[in-house]
Amino acid sequence: MPADGSPYESCPEVCGNLERPGVALDMPKWIEHSHLDTTVDQLRIEEALAAMAWRGKSILHIGVGNSRFAQRFAAEAALIDGLTVCQSEVDLARSLRIPNYTVYFLNKYSREFLLTLTNRYDFVIDNNLASFACCKYHFYRMLDNYLWAMKPGARILTDQRGMDFTVEEQRWILSYEDLQALERKFPVRVSRVTATVYSIAAIANEVTG
């Protein structure tokens, strides 16, 4: 039984690949969704978001795919920034010429994340929260990147279906309870938005001592 009760406790601590963290970076089958329909899990998150106070908010979309998320929400959002590690997704996004939509070829696990993004967000949308994870260090690094980019009270939205999918390692299948375990390591509060869509909210660090 893992010490913290979560399956990813048994993952390698550090993969050692500091320059290109994550898996499937060279696998179009998993990362190229510019020409594919939106996934079920992404659509579920969009439905959940649509029921929230999202208008006028800043949104970071991790894994832009076919950019239909931006086509649906950008007109009434303050801005949408998107990330992808697939050049054809960048090309499609830019060809749409949506004024407040900016897509970066940027790895969510990377140090460059901190050097590239200058906006702060009310929502981070990531339907494949751990699907492309290589190691525990970079999963935590990704979460730290997100928290750094989030406004106080901002929320990461994810979905169980995407959390059930992993490219390589079955141990990266996460449950709602695994997300709850993050509350012991990060200043976050986890809650259910719908039966399958979950929220990880950023809370202010408590000052002790």
Ligand X SMILES: C[S@@+](CC[C@H](N)C(=O)[O-])C[C@H]1O[C@@H](n2cnc3c(N)ncnc32)[C@H](O)[C@@H]1O
Question: Which 3-state string (H, E, C) describes 66-130?
Answer: CCHHHHHHHHHCCEEEEEECCHHHHHHHHHHCCCCEEEEECCCCCCHHHHHCCCCEEEEECCCCC
Q: How far is the CB of 104 from ligand X (least distance, A)?
A: 9
What six digits make up the tokens of 44?
């579920």
Binding ligand X by CB under 6 A: which of 44, 108, 155, 171? 108
Binding ligand X by CB under 6 A: which of 86, 135, 147, 181? 86
Give Cα separations from 120 to 40, 66, 197 (angstroms).
27, 23, 22
Q: Is 159 in the site for ligand X (CB under 6 A)?
A: no
Query: Left (φ > 0), alpha (ψ -120 to 50) or beta: where does 124 sit?
Result: beta
**Which string of x and - marks every residue 43-72 that binds ligand X (by CB under 6 A)?**
-------------------xxxx-------
Q: Is 155 in the site for ligand X (CB under 6 A)?
A: no
Q: Is 84 in the site for ligand X (CB under 6 A)?
A: yes
Which is closer to ligand X, CB of 89 or CB of 122?
89
Q: Is 127 in the site for ligand X (CB under 6 A)?
A: yes
Q: How far is the CB of 206 from ligand X (least distance, A)?
A: 30
Q: φ, ψ for residue 180 (rounded to 5)? A: -60, -35
Looking at 10-18, 31-39, 49-57, 94-102, which segment touches ligand X (CB under 6 A)? 31-39
Which H helix or E strand runs over 60?
A: strand 58-62
Give strand pairing partners of 84. Answer: 105
Binding ligand X by CB under 6 A: which of 48, 60, 80, 83? 83
Which is closer to ligand X, CB of 68 or CB of 151?
68
Rounded CA-CA distance 53/115 in Å is 29
Instruction: Please give the residue ranges that form the binding site for ligand X (CB under 6 A).
Output: 22, 31, 33, 38-39, 42, 62-65, 83-86, 89, 107-109, 127-128, 132
